[in-house]
């Protein structure tokens, strides 16, 4: 419910764009890094390590990783922008042990595709702009767990695939500079998961059961995202020399 209330509040000023002509239409591509909470999965890894009959350690535990985004963005003369964004972000973990007796690996790989609505308010400063963006989106996540055990007498491989869907809001600060018809920007924001759903098994679309992730597991993408972007103004010929 909180998600929809915030969405309505943010959309209200955006509806004013219906009566405004767009000064610019930008195609934007960006890349950066994200650091995500993933508390439930980190706890799962700790429990997994404790449950194994031999000593292992987490080599990776959901570290910062690359994310990518594309946008189609209308910018009005009234310091308001509105558009659509598509984003991709990922992270993962690895539990491992390798010695003379054999090898054990347990990998969790996460990735998410996210369509989103973007509404921004900007302050022009000559060729620079400071923009406060409000991004409302849905993340469609895939979780792949792979378990591998190899010894002199046996070899075991298990694979579990799950899905999850979250609703999120991300406030974002964007500083950009105009260079001819392009804009180069640095951005930083914080991803808030407003509604987190339990993961479900991909094969049967049922609540996840052991032996992999349990049925109360939820993805927690909360965290900082930052990066750089490059945008191209399709309507650049209409921009005055001052821009």
State how many domains the chain has: 1
The structure's pTM equals 0.81
Query: Residue 21: inside a domain, yes or no?
Result: no
Query: Residue 102: inside a domain, yes or no?
Result: yes
Q: What is the pLDDT of residue 237?
A: 59
- CA 75 to chain centroid: 24
Query: Residue 224: inside a domain, yes or no?
Result: yes
Segment 83-119, tens digit of pLDDT: 999 999 999 999 998 888 889 999 999 999 999 999 9
Query: Residue 141: inside a domain, yes or no?
Result: yes
Q: What is the pLDDT of residue 212?
A: 59
Query: Residue 19: inside a domain, yes or no?
Result: no
Q: What is the pLDDT of residue 19?
A: 41
Query: Residue 27: inside a domain, yes or no?
Result: no
Backbone angles phi, psi at 117, to 5 degrees: -100, 135
Is the Cβ–Cβ distance between 61 and 36 less than 8 Å?
A: no
Segment 156-214, tens digit of pLDDT: 888 888 899 999 999 999 999 998 779 999 999 999 999 998 888 776 443 444 445 66
Domain, as residue range, for 177 = 2-12+37-238
Question: What is the pLDDT averaged over residues 23-39?
Answer: 93
Query: Residue 20: inside a domain, yes or no?
Result: no
Beta bridge pairs of residue 34? 65, 225
Segment 2-30, tens digit of pLDDT: 444 444 444 444 444 444 455 789 999 99
CATH number at residue 219: 2.40.160
CA atoms within 13 A on the CB side of 111: 8
Query: Residue 146: inside a domain, yes or no?
Result: yes
The closest of 24, 10, 23, 27 to 135, measured between CA atoms, is 10
Q: What is the pLDDT of residue 3?
A: 46
Q: For residues 115 and 135, give the distance between their C-alpha atoms in angstroms, rounded to a whole number.
A: 10
Q: What is the pLDDT of residue 8?
A: 47
Is the Cβ–Cβ distance between 223 and 191 less than 8 Å?
A: yes
């Amino acid at each position: 419910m909180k998600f929809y209330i915030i969405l309505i509040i943010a959309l209200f000023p955006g509806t004013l764009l219906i009566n405004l002509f767009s000064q610019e239409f930008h195609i934007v591509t960006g890349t950066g890094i994200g650091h995500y909470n993933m508390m439930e999965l980190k706890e799962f890894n700790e429990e997994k390590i404790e449950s194994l009959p031999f000593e292992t350690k987490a080599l990776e535990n959901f570290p910062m990783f690359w994310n990518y985004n594309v946008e189609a963005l209308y910018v009005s003369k009234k310091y308001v922008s509105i558009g659509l964004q598509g984003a991709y972000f990922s992270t993962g973990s690895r539990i491992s042990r390798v010695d003379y007796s054999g090898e054990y690996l347990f990998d969790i790989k996460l990735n998410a595709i996210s369509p989103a609505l973007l509404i921004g308010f900007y302050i022009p400063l000559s060729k620079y702009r400071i923009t406060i963006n409000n991004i409302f989106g849905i993340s469609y996540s895939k979780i792949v767990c792979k378990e591998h055990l190899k010894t002199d007498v046996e070899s075991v491989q298990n694979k579990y695939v799950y899905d999850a869907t979250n609703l999120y809001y991300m406030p974002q600060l964007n500083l950009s500079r105009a260079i001819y018809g392009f804009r180069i920007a640095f951005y930083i924001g914080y991803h808030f998961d407003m509604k987190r759903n339990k993961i479900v098994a991909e094969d049967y679309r049922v609540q996840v059961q052991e032996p992999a992730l349990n049925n109360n597991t939820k993805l927690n993408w909360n965290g900082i995202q930052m990066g750089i972007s490059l945008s191209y103004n399709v309507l650049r010929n209409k921009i005055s020399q001052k821009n």
